[in-house]
Amino acid sequence: MKRIQIVLIITLLVPLLTISAQEQSPEGTTDKTLVTQFEELERKSGNYRANGVRYEVMRIGDLYRIKSNIFDSINTANASIKTLTATITSNKAEIEDLNAKLQETTNNLKKVTREKDSMSFFGALVSKGTYKLILWGIIVGLLLFLLFFIYRFRNSNFLTQQAKSALADLEKEYEDHRRRALEREQRISRQLQDELNKQKK
């Protein structure tokens, strides 16, 4: 019987202790949001009328606590703003530095691409297409020059062969003429000798 009475008393006291504990919870808890704290302040505040004017009454400790929490929130927000501003400034500087490096890299890439797509021709950079055009122009010019010299050489060689042949013919004619002149001279010498021999007789 005593056990049942003890259980019954405990059962009745537990809800009362819970309600009492909730009412006596510390007012300085800081895990509540400012909105919640203001709502709690409004709920706890009272009002009265005096001389036809309505007054709101609240405990000064609650007001100081909310004021302190507001200033803490403002200070925290200001510190966060300063930190974020410093971070933004640092990020801007880093972005500008990265943009400068990107621009430099882009310029270097353009220069390398230009050098890759170009070739040095007598110290000047020309595009590969122009270089090929110049190179093939030089090759074609040299081939035409070579063909011209081959033509001139063959023509000169032909003229030289003709001149040699004409000279050989001329030498042959000269030899024939000299031989005939020699034979005529010998014949005339014999005739003269014969005449001289006849006159001696």
The mean pLDDT of 56-81, rounded to a whole number, is 87
The mean pLDDT of 173-189, rounded to a whole number, is 89
Q: Given this model, what pLDDT does residue 3 score?
A: 53
Q: Look at the block and give the residue holding tokens 């504990």.
A: 21
| Torsion 114-115-117-119 (CA) sign | positive
pLDDT greater than 60 at residue 9: no
Q: Given this model, what pLDDT does residue 12 score?
A: 47
| Torsion 184-185-188-190 (CA) sign | negative
As a whole number, the mean pLDDT across the chain is 80
Q: What is the pTM of this model?
A: 0.40
Rounded CA-CA distance 144/139 in Å is 9
pLDDT greater than 80 at residue 13: no
The residues facing 127 across adjacent strands are 118
- pLDDT-derived band at 65, boundaries 50, 70, 90: confident
DSSP 8-class letter at 123: T
Q: Which residues contact 106 (CB under 8 A, 6 or more apart)?
A: none
Ordered by start, the domain boundaries in the chain are: 27-89, 127-200
Q: Which residues contact 64 (CB under 8 A, 6 or more apart)?
A: none
Q: Which two tokens stand for residue 160?
A: 């030289």
Q: Given this model, what pLDDT does residue 56 score?
A: 77
Task: Give the three-state DSSP class for 52.
Answer: coil
Question: What digits encode the pLDDT tens for the residues 23-54?
Answer: 334 444 445 787 888 888 788 877 777 888 88
The mean pLDDT of 172-188, rounded to a whole number, is 89
pLDDT greater than 50 at residue 20: no
Question: What digits encode the pLDDT tens for the residues 128-170?
Answer: 778 788 889 999 999 999 999 999 999 988 889 898 898 999 9
